[in-house]
Structure 1
Amino acid sequence: MNVRTVARRAQAGFTLIELMIVVAIIGILAAVALPAYQDYTVRARVSEAMVLASAAKTLVGENAANAASDLTLGFDSASVSSTKNVTSMTIDSAGVITVNTTPAAGSVALKLTPTSGGQALAAGTPPSGQIQWKCTAASDKFKYVPSECRNAS
């Protein structure tokens, strides 16, 4: 073989099998990355529900601290407009906040329960200590919720 033949072979490029291997590797990476990306997208949407609930947590905390006759004082569920990711938010008489998300956000129902000194909050009675919040969600939705909400409800 002379030098010209070797030079032409060096410029020939990739073989078909090398290209097929590269395409297969890219396909495998995409197959693994897309589901993970979709789960993280849903988790980001669920975080909107947690942000929305933070205002309600403040309201319940203030009403409890002031021994208000109603822990939902100042909250109107009709005024909570649904968003692209959150369908509704409610507060019950014990101050438990429930936030429901849309199907795009995994159809998750987050439940935030306040306690103080290990006891549920009661309207008209100031809390005995710091208010603690326990977040729960259905176990089949754990992959979408923040880690503090991964307790079976």
Structure 2
Amino acid sequence: MAALLGVSNVFGPYTWTSYDSNLKGNPTSNKGKIEMNKRKHLEVPSDYIKRLIITPLLSGILLVNIIIITTFIMTDGAIGKVVTDYLLYAIAGVETLLIFFYLYFAVHACHRIAGPMRAVKKTLEQVGDGDLTATLHFRKGDFNPDLPGQFNVCVGNLRGKIATAKNLVERISENSLSDKQQAELISRLQSTLDDFKTEVESAPPPAPKKQTAPKQTGFTLVELLVVVTVVSVLAMIALPSYLNYHTRAKVSEALGVAGQIKKAIAETYLSLNDWPANTANAGLPAIGAHTQYVQSVTVEKIDDEHGKFTIALDINGLEGKTLVFTGKVKANGGMDWVCNGSLGDHDKGTLEEKFRPPICR
């Protein structure tokens, strides 16, 4: 990923990478908007990474996943299980693509800010050291493209004032001048210095420097990629797992009627001394009304000592899936029950293994 973005050497709180300094065009023209060759590397200070990339990215991922989970819970029952699975895969894929697109554009946006800041810092250091030939240049596409022109005009005016004063001093020092000529040149020099002093004094005072807390080292891009990858994987794993858990809870609630069914069949057997041939004979005509997750209950007789009942589910994505309970009459008149069938595969029901409760696996 780092190679894709062209990022390198960003392991310090302020690490700037080098760039080509060859300029195209006349530095004094076009108001300082000189197009430079591309910098060799992206320039992204690590505090930019923390403030402009990591915090918004993690907040966005958390918010999106909360919205997705809430939406699936609120729409439970409106769409089928197969459709839900495909939607989850599609959402996970789109979310992953959006993460990498955001990373790409956020890193390049930081680069468009950090590059000009580096150029301004370097040029101000040159001017502060007395190099008034220094000019400020931004790349095409950098933020605040008008700043170089304004800065270069200011430095040019300063350079012009100093050049004029220097020229006057050199002429005053010539021995061939008369007293009148020297006095005139001194007057012009004084006027130039007074004008410069007036311009400096009329400038607004600098804003007071705010007290800031000690700067903390931010994240590196490598750490950012690791965090994003981990969060994405956790999100992709957590949502399907939660939905499976939610479905298993509904299945367990639906099986709450199994106890009532077993009791009704046992009472019928004791009364008739025979296994009930169907649901009506077992006295269970409306068993589906006992819970919202049961579609129907079917009671069948296998032989004189064996029978079974089948619970068909009415759960989103599991409509019509079945669980089978097989019963056997004991010598004392009681009954033993086995979920998931005991007389062959045809008695196991159609509910997938991952949604079955432990007693039916």
* Match 1:49 to one of 223, 231, 254: 254
Are residues 31 and 44 of structure 1, via their aligned partners in 2, closer, same or farther at CA, if it must alter by over 3 Å? same
Are residues 65 and 21 of structure 1, via their aligned partners in 2, closer, same or farther at CA, if it must alter by over 3 Å? same
* Match 1:132 to one of 336, 346, 349: 336
Give runs of aligned pairs for residues 83-122 of structure 1, distance below 5 A: 83-93=291-301, 95-104=307-316, 106-107=318-319, 108-117=321-330
CA distance in 1 between partners of 2:332 and 2:274 (Å): 16
Contact residue 84 and residue 102 of structure 1 kept, 8 A? yes
* Match 2:283 to one of 65, 69, 74: 74
Looking at secondary structure, tell me which structure has more strand per residue.
1
CA distance in 2 between partners of 1:146 and 1:12 (Å): 50
Q: Deviations over 1:69-118 (max 9, x none)?
A: 66334221x4533854221112224552111113526342011111024x
Q: Which SS does the other structure have where 1:74 is aligned?
A: coil
CA distance in 2 between partners of 1:18 and 1:8 (Å): 24
> Is 2:223 the partner of 1:14?
no
Q: Which residue of structure 2 aligns with residue 143 of structure 1?
A: 354
Which runs of no fewer than 5 residues in structure 2 stay unpaired?
1-13, 15-211, 341-347
Deviates more, 1:51-60 or 1:18-27: 18-27
- Equivalent AA in structure 2 for residue 110 of structure 1: L
Which runs of no fewer than 5 residues in structure 1 stay unpaired?
118-126
Q: Which SS does the other structure have where 1:104 is aligned?
A: coil
**Deviation, structure 1 residue 56:** 0.7
Q: Which residue of structure 2 aligns with residue 124 of structure 1?
A: none
Q: Which residue of structure 1 aligns with residue 231 of structure 2?
A: 26
TM-score normalised by length of structure 2:
0.33
How many residues align? The count is: 135
Q: Which SS does the other structure have where 2:352 is aligned?
A: helix
- Equivalent AA in structure 2 for residue 134 of structure 1: V
Contact residue 111 and residue 135 of structure 1 kept, 8 A? yes
Q: Which SS does the other structure have where 2:316 is aligned?
A: helix
Q: Which SS does the other structure have where 1:80 is aligned?
A: helix
Contact residue 266 and residue 334 of structure 2 kept, 8 A? no
- Equivalent AA in structure 2 for residue 38 of structure 1: L
Q: Percent of pairs identical after alignment?
A: 31
Q: Return the index of the structure with the highest Cα Rg.
A: 2
Are residues 55 and 105 of structure 1, via their aligned partners in 2, closer, same or farther at CA, if it must alter by over 3 Å? farther
Contact residue 43 and residue 105 of structure 1 kept, 8 A? no
Q: Which SS does the other structure have where 1:106 is aligned?
A: coil
